Structure 1
Amino acid sequence: MPRVLCVGHVNWDVSLRLDHLPEPDGESAVRDTTQGGGGSAANVAVGLAGLDCAATLAGSVGDDEHGLLARRDLDRAGVDLAGLRTVAGETTTKYLLVDDAGEVSVLGAAGVNEALGPDDIDPALVAAADRVHLTAHRPDTLRRVAEVATEAGVPVSVDPGRRLADRDFSDVLALADTLFVNAVEARALDGPEVPVVVTKRGTEGATVTAPDDSYDHAGFDLPSVDSTGAGDAFAAGFLAARLRGDGAADALAVANACGALAAETEGPKTALSWEAVEAVLAGERA
């Protein structure tokens, strides 16, 4: 079973289902409210665990009730929490505004999701992995993980998310072999070239550009009720497929299937499985 170390944010998510996303000086009706653990690193780790990978998570939560609940959710999903620190303070809360079309806007409240510093990284956890996957976090922490992984011969993938334009990840990208971005983030790229770039285009599919070729996949036409976490499920699918030996084109199809499964499910985390993925690929869910 391949082992992946996921490093980055672990949050507590409050999802507000709205009739529409509010305009400036406007008002929307809240149809439903749900809560649960989230954060890109946590979401990818849960997805990988469902796809027969041994997923280890490195990040930080607070010593409050939300931190305890987030840890319990992750443990029940089969994620190894050896790298997850519990620190004094409040677990970071994200408020996810989701409209009837499944589109999402995010409000973030301060918390301890970046309390994991460079000195907190356990080199043994990094060296034990078959791949390290880095998501949005402090550049100095991600750089330390990437350096340790490179020294140990462990490949590194990066999904910096919305903060790509605000933070300098150039040192991290210089050590990565795979980069995940969306179309907006792709336009903000300005730094070292990464050998494999996977561009997520939501309902329009995705593209992977590799040194030898590039591949497009149009995605899958499944009902979309909540795009929260779809990009994380996409990354989990691509990495799991590559780790089982799939080529880039086949991995892209798997990734799109995982993203579509996530988008048809409410909430940031999706219980992925190869059985569900194969059903989408075979057209049984179309």
Structure 2
Amino acid sequence: MPRVICAGHLNWDVTLRVDALPSPDGEVTVDSRRRGGGGSAANVANGLSDLDVDASLLGSVGEDEHGYVARDELAENGVDVSNVVVTGELETTTKYIVVEPSGEVMVLGCPGANEAFTAADLPDSELAAADHLHLTSQDPETARRLAERARELDVPVSFDPGRRIDDRGYGPALTTVDYLFLNDREAALALDAFDLAEQTLVLKHGPEGAEIRRGDERTAHPGYPIDAVDTTGAGDAFAAGFIAALADGGSDQRALAVGNACGALASKVPGARTTLTWEEIRAFIGE
């Protein structure tokens, strides 16, 4: 069984569904509220575990109820949380996710403990035993150091820097990793600011699918038309499917097909996570 380490945020998510966003000085009614663990790294690790990958999480939470519940949810799903740092100095980071009927989201984040971990919290022996390291949004220095250590040990690295790519100094990490996951907005910023000729770019186009750019080579997949309910976590589900397919020896085209299927399945249900199964994925892509 391949082993993948995911490093980044573990949060407590509060998801609020509304008919529309309020106008300035306005008010809308919350139609439903869901609470549970979230965070990009945690979501990807959870999805990988669903897909029969030995997944481990490097992250951090506060010494509080939300932190313990978020960590226990992952452990119950088979994720190794032994490298999740628990700190008594900060509370578990909470994200308020507002979802419109179209499935589009708006995120309000409260500062907390999700960047209290450092690269030193991952032992060399565990990194050396991994088949893949996946980085998500986190402290730029931690991301850089983890990527450099993985490269020294010949462990492939992917990085999904997320929506804050333009205001966090991710440059040294971006140019060190093997695979770089970017949506259209992030790609426009990164390709303009950095020399990414050595990186394999995995570009997520939302409803229009995804593509891989490796030098002058292009591999594209059109995605799957669905009626989105909630796009929260769809990119994380895509990453889990993509990495799981690669770890299983799949081609670029299969990795894109599986990734797009996982993203679509995640978008069909509310919340940041859905249970992914190979049986459902194969049925979805017509295998």
TM-score (norm 2): 0.95
Match of 1:265 among 269, 272, 281: 269
- What pairs with 1:1-286 in structure 2 (closer than 5 Å)? 1-88=1-88, 89-189=90-190, 190-193=193-196, 194-211=198-215, 213-282=217-286
Give the drift of 1:19.
0.6
My pick for the range that moved more, 130-139 or 23-32, is 23-32
Name stretches of at least 5 consecutive residues in structure 1 with no aligned partner.
none
Give the drift of 1:212.
5.7
My pick for the range that moved more, 256-265 or 161-170, is 161-170
Contact 1:95-1:106 within 8 A present in 2 as well: yes
Task: Note the alpha carbon deviations across 1:47-93, whole angstroms, 9 max, x for none.
Answer: 10111110000000000000010011101111001211111121000
* Structure 2 Cα separation of the partners of residues 33 and 225 of structure 1: 14
My pick for the range that moved more, 66-75 or 19-28, is 19-28
Change (3 A) 1:143 1:264: same
Give the drift of 1:191.
1.7
Secondary structure of residue in 2 paired with 1:269: coil
Give the RMSD, CA atoms, in angstroms.
1.3
Secondary structure of residue in 2 paired with 1:242: helix
Contact 1:83-1:125 within 8 A present in 2 as well: no
Secondary structure of residue in 1 paired with 2:163: helix
Letter in 2 for 1:119: A
* Structure 1 Cα separation of the partners of residues 221 and 194 of structure 2: 26
Give the drift of 1:226.
0.6
* Structure 1 Cα separation of the partners of residues 260 and 35 of structure 2: 26
Report the identity percentage: 51
* Structure 2 Cα separation of the partners of residues 96 and 261 of structure 1: 19
* Structure 2 Cα separation of the partners of residues 76 and 93 of structure 1: 21
Contact 1:46-1:270 within 8 A present in 2 as well: no
Secondary structure of residue in 2 paired with 1:163: coil
Give the drift of 1:26.
3.3
Task: Note the alpha carbon deviations across 1:175-198, whole angstroms, 9 max, x for none.
Answer: 211000100000110223143101
Secondary structure of residue in 1 paired with 2:28: coil
My pick for the range that moved more, 95-104 or 113-122, is 113-122
* Structure 2 Cα separation of the partners of residues 242 and 24 of structure 1: 46
Give the drift of 1:124.
1.8
My pick for the range that moved more, 125-134 or 6-15, is 125-134
Contact 2:16-2:98 within 8 A present in 1 as well: yes
Task: Please identify runs of 4+ aligned residues in structure 1 that moved more than 6 A.
Answer: none
TM-score (norm 1): 0.96
Alignment size in residue pairs:
283
My pick for the range that moved more, 150-159 or 198-207, is 198-207
Contact 1:17-1:33 within 8 A present in 2 as well: yes
Secondary structure of residue in 1 paired with 2:27: coil
Letter in 1 for 2:50: G
* Structure 1 Cα separation of the partners of residues 188 and 216 of structure 2: 22
* Structure 2 Cα separation of the partners of residues 102 and 21 of structure 1: 12
* Structure 2 Cα separation of the partners of residues 259 and 241 of structure 1: 14
Contact 2:175-2:199 within 8 A present in 1 as well: no
Name stretches of at least 5 consecutive residues in structure 2 with no aligned partner.
none
Task: Note the alpha carbon deviations across 1:84-118, whole angstroms, 9 max, x for none.
Answer: 11111210000000111111000001111000123
* Structure 2 Cα separation of the partners of residues 200 and 213 of structure 1: 16
Letter in 1 for 2:284: V
Contact 1:51-1:273 within 8 A present in 2 as well: yes
